[in-house]
A and B are shown apart, each in its own frame.
Chain A
Amino acid sequence: MALLEVNDIHTYYGNIHALKGISLTVEKGEIVSLIGGNGAGKTTTLRTISGLITPRSGGVAFDGADISQYRAHQLVSKGIAMVPEGRGVFARLSVTENLNMGAYHRNDKDGIAEDLEKVFQIFPRLKERRTQVAGTLSGGEQQMLATGRALMSRPDLLLMDEPSMGLAPVLVEATFETIETINKEGTTILLVEQNAHMALQVADRGYVLQTGEIVLSNTAKELQRDPTVQKAYLGIE
Chain B
Amino acid sequence: MNQDHSNDIIELASNLRWKVGENYHDRLTEGIYTDAAAITRDVEVRDGKAHFTFDRKLDQILTSKTFGFPIMVLILSIILWITIQGANYPSGMLATLLLENIYPFLKGVASSIGMPWWLDGFLIDGVYLALGWVIAVMLPPMAIFFPMFTLLEDFGYLPRVAFNMDNMFRKTGAHGKQALTMSMGWGCNAAGVVATRIIDSPRERLIAIITNNFSLCNGRWPTQILIATIFIGALVPPAFSGLMSTVSVIGIAMLGIAFMFLTSWLLSKTMLKGEVSTFALELPPYRPPRFWQTIYTSLIDRTLIVLWRAMVFAAPAGAVIWLSSNITVGDMTIANWMIEWMDEFGVFIGLNGVILLAYIVAIPANEIVLPTILMLTVANLNLIGVGAGDGVMFELDSEMETEAILRQGGWTLLTGINLMLFSLLHNPCSTTIYTIYKETKSWKWTAVASILPVIMGFVVCFLVAQIYRIVVG
- B and A form one assembly: no
Residues of chain A whose beta carbon lies under 8 Å from any beta carbon of chain B: none
